């Protein structure tokens, strides 16, 4: 057997000194110390002795003041837990509190806090604390949960995040999120707001390290997306554009797979919600907590709530960020994991089906009549405007008149920008174009659009300028070609 490292030898010496293990188990420990740990090795060697090893190593961590032994024992125990969760389950036993004068999680968090400047100690201590909490009970350990999430928020707070600073904490969060009954704590403790930064603000020269952090962050998002409240919070944190960005830029299959799984969870949640809304007598069982999805896309006041949106529009957002095009590119890739191609097909089918509804004139009419406009796919589809511009004449120009009223009266910046864009597209594609503005009901609309060119919001000013150009120029397509 290869010689033990100095740290390993000192750890074995302390185990003997404290009489924590019998000699046969110590020899097993020495064998583990000299091998690279993986699930197969740990399972073959440790089977039946998980409890003795876990408790012995924890006693070393709790009983030594030598930093090199503490760090080595913590890192080794974390590696053991990662390879075999049966070992980690030992740390969650409530009966250990009597032996150690407190729950293992509490003691591990204390170690992490005391040695917060030494990552080789604090990182594995946080991971092991999460393991102890995962396999333990919430009752009686509320303080440890609070302390864990406080440490997590502090870890994710810096403006620039380094892989070495956050990797174990992200893995620890994943550990806890695997427990369905603990996911609510992530919502209560405002951890969801930290996730987008973990996908964008990580800095490291080690690209493999960044990919692993991205994967773990995506895994956390996926686990939280099984809860309807988790979907609400993820969407509010603009996770759909972030997930789209991952599909565009990250090649690693495991990252693509878990991203697709998260998006499909959102699609399925929206399907169930809308099915309940449209078919209240449906025999499909749905958890009553699904009603929380109705909070998505609602304004702060009753006047701001769009009447045509009675629930989530997650698929619409996926379409609006360009997901269909990206899925088409993924469809042409050859993946080693065949399940990825299947998921791409399923997601693309859901988006294509939704696109037909999202770009229907009846959908557009409902949005315009509500007086609240957003950048949904219908507005940016050239095909929609080519096919439907003349329909603004229906019902005595009902939609056009409502659009003009919105432009004159709305104070909402997004609504104004979208309304300017839509009016410009109607003028561009309608056979009589700018003559529509001569209708009595459209009085003052042209002047209002021109005044919006000096709006303080750059998006409103830009769309007002483009609309004015379409009003003033007869041959818009020619101007576009010569611009």
Instruction: Please tell me the distance from the alpha carbon of residue 353 to that of residue 414, in angstroms, as a whole number.
Output: 26
Residue 354 scores a pLDDT above 90: no
Instruction: Tell me, yes or no, whether 207 lies in a domain.
Output: yes
Instruction: Please tell me the distance from the alpha carbon of residue 364 to that of residue 36, in angstroms, as a whole number.
Output: 60
Least confident of 287-291, 337-341, 385-389, 470-474: 470-474
Last residue of a domain, one of 126, 157, 188: 157
Residue 356 scores a pLDDT above 90: no
Q: For 181-206, what is the mean pLDDT? A: 90
Q: In whole numbers, what is the pLDDT of the chain averaged over residues?
A: 86
400 touches 436 (CB < 8 A):
yes
Give Dmax over CA atoms of the chain in angstroms: 97
Tokens of 302: 């009753």
**Do 10 and 138 belong together in one domain?**
yes
Residue 399 scores a pLDDT above 80: yes
Alpha helices in 135-285 (DSSP H): 142-155, 163-177, 183-188, 195-200, 207-224, 228-236, 239-249, 253-278
**Burial zone of 21 (CB within 10 Å; 0-12 exposed, 13-18 middle, 19+ buried):** buried
Instruction: Tell me, yes or no, whether 304 lies in a domain.
Output: no
Residue 102 scores a pLDDT above 80: no
Question: What's the pLDDT score for residue 297?
Answer: 56
pTM (2 d.p.):
0.75
SS3 content of the chain, % helix, strand, coil (to 5): 75, 0, 25
Instruction: Please tell me the distance from the alpha carbon of residue 220 to that of residue 216, in angstroms, as a whole number.
Output: 6
Residue 257 scores a pLDDT above 70: yes
**Do 344 and 366 belong together in one domain?**
no
Residue 305 scores a pLDDT above 70: no
Question: H-helix or E-strand containing 418?
Answer: helix 413-429
Instruction: Tell me, yes or no, whether 479 lies in a domain.
Output: no
Residue 146 scores a pLDDT above 50: yes
Percent of the chain at pLDDT exceeding 90: 49
Instruction: Please tell me the distance from the alpha carbon of residue 444 to that of residue 425, in angstroms, as a whole number.
Output: 18
Q: 38-51 pLDDT, tens per residue? A: 778 888 888 888 88
Instruction: Tell me, yes or no, whether 400 lies in a domain.
Output: yes
**Do 402 and 273 belong together in one domain?**
no
Question: What's the pLDDT score for residue 302?
Answer: 35
Instruction: Tell me, yes or no, whether 481 lies in a domain.
Output: no
**Do 163 and 92 belong together in one domain?**
no
One-character DSSP codes across 73-123? HHHHHHHHHHH-HHHHHHTT-TTHHHHHTS-HHHHHHHHHHHTTT-HHHHH
Domain assignment of residue 212, given as a range = 159-295+309-358
**Do 345 and 374 belong together in one domain?**
no
248 touches 205 (CB < 8 A):
no
pLDDT-derived band at 479, boundaries 50, 70, 90: very low
Question: What's the pLDDT score for residue 481?
Answer: 44
Question: What's the pLDDT score for residue 311?
Answer: 53
Main-chain phi, psi angles of 318, to 5 degrees: -60, -45
Least confident of 25-34, 77-86, 281-290: 281-290
Q: For 19-29, what is the mean pLDDT? A: 88
Main-chain phi, psi angles of 202, to 5 degrees: -80, 135
Residue 255 scores a pLDDT above 50: yes
Q: What is the CATH number of the domain that holds 288?
A: 1.25.10.10
CA dihedral 59, 64, 68, 72 (to 10 degrees): 0
**Do 152 and 25 belong together in one domain?**
yes
**Do 365 and 354 belong together in one domain?**
no
Residue 467 scores a pLDDT above 60: yes
**Do 194 and 69 belong together in one domain?**
no
Instruction: Tell me, yes or no, whether 482 lies in a domain.
Output: no
Nearest alpha-carbon partner for 319 in 292, 356, 363: 356
Residue 475 scores a pLDDT above 60: no
Residue 306 scores a pLDDT above 60: no
Instruction: Tell me, yes or no, whether 417 lies in a domain.
Output: yes
401 touches 442 (CB < 8 A):
yes
Residue 372 scores a pLDDT above 50: yes
Provide the terminal-to-terminal Cα distance of the chain, rounded to the nearest Å: 76
The total number of structural domains in the chain stands at 3
Question: What's the pLDDT score for residue 412?
Answer: 93
**Do 152 and 173 belong together in one domain?**
no
């Amino acid at each position: 057997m290869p010689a033990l490292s100095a740290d390993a030898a000192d750890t074995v010496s302390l185990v003997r000194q404290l009489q924590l293990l019998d000699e046969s188990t110590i020899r097993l420990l020495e064998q583990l110390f000299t091998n690279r740990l993986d699930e197969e090795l740990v399972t073959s060697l440790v089977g039946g002795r998980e409890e003795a090893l876990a408790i012995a190593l924890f006693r070393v961590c709790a009983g030594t003041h030598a930093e090199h032994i503490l760090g080595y024992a913590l890192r080794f125990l974390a590696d053991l837990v990662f390879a075999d969760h049966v070992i980690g389950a030992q740390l969650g036993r409530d009966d250990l509190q009597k032996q150690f004068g407190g729950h293992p999680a509490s003691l591990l968090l204390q170690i992490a806090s005391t040695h917060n400047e030494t990552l080789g100690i604090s990182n594995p201590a946080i991971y092991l604390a999460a393991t102890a909490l995962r396999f333990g009970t919430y009752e009686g350990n509320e303080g440890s949960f609070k302390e864990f999430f406080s440490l997590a928020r502090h870890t994710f707070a810096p403006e620039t995040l380094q892989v070495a600073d956050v990797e174990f904490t992200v893995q620890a969060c994943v550990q806890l999120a695997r427990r369905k009954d603990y996911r609510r704590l992530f919502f209560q403790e405002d951890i969801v707001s930290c996730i987008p930064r973990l996908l964008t603000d990580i800095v490291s020269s080690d690209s493999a390290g960044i990919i692993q952090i991205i994967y773990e962050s995506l895994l956390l998002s996926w686990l939280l997306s099984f809860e309807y409240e988790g979907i609400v919070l993820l969407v509010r944190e603009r996770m759909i554009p972030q997930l789209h960005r991952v599909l565009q830029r990250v090649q690693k299959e495991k990252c693509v797979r878990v991203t697709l799984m998260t998006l499909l969870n959102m699609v399925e949640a929206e399907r169930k919600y809308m099915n309940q809304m449209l078919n209240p007598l449906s025999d499909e069982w749905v958890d009553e907590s699904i009603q929380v999805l109705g909070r998505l896309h609602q304004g702060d006041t009753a006047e701001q709530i769009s009447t045509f949106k009675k629930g989530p529009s997650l698929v619409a957002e996926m379409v609006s960020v360009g997901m269909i095009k990206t899925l088409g590119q993924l469809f042409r890739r050859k993946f080693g994991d065949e399940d990825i191609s299947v998921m791409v097909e399923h997601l693309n089918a859901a988006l294509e089906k939704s696109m037909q509804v999202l770009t229907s004139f009846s959908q557009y009419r409902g949005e315009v009549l509500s007086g609240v406009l957003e950048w949904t796919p219908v507005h940016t589809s050239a095909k929609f405007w080519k096919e439907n511009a003349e329909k603004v004449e229906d019902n005595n120009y009902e939609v056009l008149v409502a659009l003009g009223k919105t432009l004159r009266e709305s104070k909402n910046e997004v609504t104004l920008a979208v309304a300017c864009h839509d009016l410009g597209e109607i003028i561009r594609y309608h056979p009589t174009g700018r003559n529509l503005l001569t209708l009595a009901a459209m009085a003052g609309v042209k002047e209002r659009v021109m005044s919006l060119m000096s709006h303080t919001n750059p998006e409103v000013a830009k769309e007002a300028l483009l609309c004015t150009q379409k009003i003033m120029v007869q041959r818009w397509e020619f101007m576009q070609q010569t611009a």
